[in-house]
Amino acid sequence: MELCDLTAHQIATLVKLQEVSAVEVLESTIKRINLVDGSPGSLDGVNDATQSENIHSFITPTFEQARIQAQIIDEKIRKGEDPGLLAGVPFTVKDIFCVRGTPSTAGSHILANFISPYTATPVDHMMAAGGVMLGKVNLDEFTYGSSNESSAFQPSPRNPWNLSHVPGGSSGGSAAAVAAGEGALSLGTDTAGSIRQPAAFCGVVGVKPTYGRVSRYGLIAFGSSLDCPGPLARNITDAALMMQVISGADPHDATAATTDVPNYLSTVERNIRGMRIGLSPDFLQITYPDPIQGELRKEPINPEIEAALLRVAGRLAELGADIVEEIPMPHTYYGIPAYFVISRVEAASNLHRYDGVKYGFRTPDITSDLHEMYRKSRAQGFGLQPKLRILMGMYVSAAQYSEQYYNRALRIRTLIRKDYEAIFDPQGSYRLDALLAPTTPTTAFPIGDIYGDSVLMQYADQLTVTANHAGVPGVAFPAGFDSKGLPIGAQVLGPDFSEARLLQIGRAYEKVTADEFWRDRKPPILERISWSGME
């Protein structure tokens, strides 16, 4: 096994024991990146799905800085100093986070030349804990998407399990990188499922923390009431390790909760005997817009995904969990309609700051006045997805419409939140510890299949978005493969600040399925480089 394929907790242990050096782990990872990633996304790149044999996770590799970081960690250890929980662990960062001295682009032309003067708190924590940042990875532009195809930096990332399929989004670069051994960890964000969905598509673990569990300072904002930074990793213990590092209060972020951070690592191995884990029929049917008439239709979820979910439930029951069926989550259906309103209002507000004045792209055209400069800078700098969100946000928050759209959506958000409160209420009818659900209505779809249809694309998030409305945490983990060899993901959702419990459930499932044949599968691109003797 290559060093880059070790788990994060193995790497940290071995580096601290000086059995391997941080530099050796880094060089192994860089070698892997050079073998599988191909050209980083760029503004001049093209996205030809038929041409690529590589993953294209990166926008900005930062290998030279990484080498310096690794050397510092090794030196610390030689001196007997504590290098931190992530000693020598290579990680990538979704390019929606500001990192001092690096391009922080949000996957957009409008920030393509922006070099951040400061570092986001979660990234700061990871580096302070001894993590080694490999660089910035690709994403949907401003996180607007579920496939990574909307990035201004092309080619967009590919799914390591099938390079003609999307990795998911918007943390597509993060999920693809982790799945392909391009760093043991990645920092992503989840606003409607943007960690959990690509995690499911790429066969890795993704955690959407409780809103406010992880600081948003330094996160380029999309939906300020919805955005949650969180980990992507190849296994539950690594996700727990990263949660330990990035969670907690932050004087720079008034929405970062001061609730104590538990010791996730000390509880992750506990058994789940007696836990009440629910299954809801409302998560086993999906809604989609009819391609011809545009009307919304409902149908049962993909039978392979349902079968995988029921297998997960069966294994958890073998471990002593009580599986409670027929849990009502009646407002799940309204998650996407409400999201179309709330997220767009917040996006329109958050994107107003991009005006070509203080930073980022300014139109090179000669303009007659400031307003024309604003219009041309924004028109030339933003792609279609940001424009779509700005326009819809302006419409549904306009004075004459805000009561029927924005205000109503926020009241429906209350109902969605109440669905979760009811099922997790310790005095209520269901008293659940967690809700088990599929992560996505489909497995990873082919590149180009639905890009351009903004409604169909948004419905890829229908099983994840209600957790963002409600603020509750969710952990997505691999649950097998479909008949085409694409990963299937399951998720567990829980009450506020119950990440420790959810990680415990994920870890229990991991252990009981450790010997199942599907656990030995590797992404075909890794099989390819292995056969060729390139590693």
Catalytic residues: 94, 170, 194
Binding range to another protein, per CB under 8 A, among 9-17, 84-92, 244-252, 299-307: 244-252
Token duo for residue 229 = 């930074």
Which residues, 389 to 408, sit near another protein by CB under 8 A? 390-392, 394-396, 401, 404-405, 407-408
**In whole angstroms, how close is the CB of 185 to another protein at the nearest point?**
25
Give the C-alpha separation, 439 to 36, whole Å.
Answer: 27
**In whole angstroms, how close is the CB of 296 to another protein at the nearest point?**
7
What is the contact mask toward another protein in residues 366 to 385, using x (rule: CB under 8 A)? -xxxxxxxxxx-xx--x-x-
**In whole angstroms, how close is the CB of 256 to another protein at the nearest point?**
7
Measure Cα distances from 361 to 109, 351, 371 in Å.
Answer: 7, 13, 15
How large is the C-alpha radius of gyration of the chain?
22
**In whole angstroms, how close is the CB of 210 to another protein at the nearest point?**
6
Give the C-alpha separation, 107 to 421, whole Å.
Answer: 36
**In whole angstroms, how close is the CB of 468 to another protein at the nearest point?**
7
Which residues, 323 to 342, sit near another protein by CB under 8 A? 331, 333-334, 336-338, 340-341
Yes or no: say if 91 and 127 are a contact pair by the CB < 8 Å rule.
no
What is the contact mask toward another protein in residues 245 to 264, using x (rule: CB under 8 A)? ----xxx--xxxxxx-----
Token duo for residue 241 = 């390790």
Q: Which is nearer to another protein, 265 or 296 (CB)?
A: 296
Q: Which is nearer to another protein, 237 or 468 (CB)?
A: 468
Which residues, 457 to 496, sit near another protein by CB under 8 A? 458, 468-472, 496
Which residues, 411 to 440, sit near another protein by CB under 8 A? 411-415, 417
How many CA atoms within 13 Å lie on the side-chain side of 75? 6
**In whole angstroms, how close is the CB of 397 to another protein at the nearest point?**
10
What is the contact mask toward another protein in residues 211 to 230, using x (rule: CB under 8 A)? xx------------xx----
> HEC profile for 369-432?
CHHHHHHHHHHHHCCHHHHHHHHHHHHHCCCCCCHHHHHHHHHHHHHHHHHHHHHHCCCCCCCC
Structure-token match 């029951």, residue found:
317
Q: If binding is defined by CB under 8 A, does position 201 make contact with another protein?
A: no
Q: If binding is defined by CB under 8 A, does position 355 make contact with another protein?
A: yes
Yes or no: say if 63 and 135 are a contact pair by the CB < 8 Å rule.
yes
Q: Which is nearer to another protein, 410 or 422 (CB)?
A: 410
What is the contact mask toward another protein in residues 111 to 150, using x (rule: CB under 8 A)? ---xx-x---------------------------------
Q: Which is nearer to another protein, 146 or 174 (CB)?
A: 146
* C-alpha closest to that of 156 among 231, 63, 49, 60: 49
Give the C-alpha separation, 170 to 476, whole Å.
Answer: 15
Q: Which is nearer to another protein, 38 or 337 (CB)?
A: 337
**In whole angstroms, how close is the CB of 501 to another protein at the nearest point?**
16
Give the C-alpha separation, 166 to 223, whole Å.
Answer: 23
Yes or no: say if 56 and 161 are a contact pair by the CB < 8 Å rule.
no
Binding range to another protein, per CB under 8 A, among 121-129, 161-169, 180-188, 354-362: 354-362
| 289: amino acid identity, one letter | P
Yes or no: say if 66 and 99 are a contact pair by the CB < 8 Å rule.
no
Q: If binding is defined by CB under 8 A, does position 409 make contact with another protein?
A: yes
